[in-house]
Amino acid sequence: MKASFIRIAIMAAVALVAAVFLIATGAFLCVALYEGLKLVVPVPALAALATAAILMFLSGIVLAIGSAIARAAERKARLEAQKKGPATAKIGLELGRILGESAAGYIGKNPVQVLIGALAVGFAVGAVPKLRSFLMGFMKAK
């Protein structure tokens, strides 16, 4: 457990350092662009304005690409849901309703046994790491 916290802390520190370096790189690239434009444009204020315009244009391109990728992913998810069709959703709803009603009926008739079972299962999951990892892997599987 302690090793995982140390790993998380190290990865967070590495990510923070990488982010600082990335921001510094961006700043140096902006200064380089400004200094380069200052050689071409006679007025420094116009060079700064041109630098800002170029950066806004590049930001717009990045936003457009990200938006296109997000729309494509959403479209793909919608098409996959349509392939499964409404019948699958209706079957799932009906099965859920039937299982829910039967579980509610059993819990209503045997509350003490359900409480003891829930405590035993909770203790087992908390005490046995292999069982916990198996259940987590089972829940993550698609």
pLDDT of 1:
60
- Give how far the C-alpha of residue 86 lies from the chain's centroid of Cα atoms, to the nearest Å: 27
Question: Domain-by-domain residue ranges, the chain?
Answer: 2-109, 110-142
- What whole-number distance in Å separates Cα of residue 51 and Cα of residue 30? 7
Q: Nearest Cα to 38, choosing from 29, 28, 30, 48?
A: 48
- What whole-number distance in Å separates Cα of residue 35 and Cα of residue 30? 9
Residues in the chain: 142
Helices marked H in 1-142 — which ranges? 2-40, 44-109, 111-127, 129-140
**Per-residue pLDDT tens digits of the chain, which is 142 residues long:** 677 778 888 888 888 999 999 899 989 998 999 999 889 888 888 888 888 889 899 889 989 998 999 999 889 888 887 777 676 777 878 888 899 899 888 888 988 888 888 888 888 888 888 888 888 887 776 5
The DSSP letter of residue 73 is H
**For 59-72, what is each residue's pLDDT tens digit?**
899 899 989 999 99
Residue 108 has which token pair? 């209503």
Rg (CA), the chain: 29
Are 104 and 114 in contact, with CB atoms under 8 Å apart? no
Considering all CA atoms of the chain, what is the largest pairwise distance in Å, rounded to the nearest integer? 87
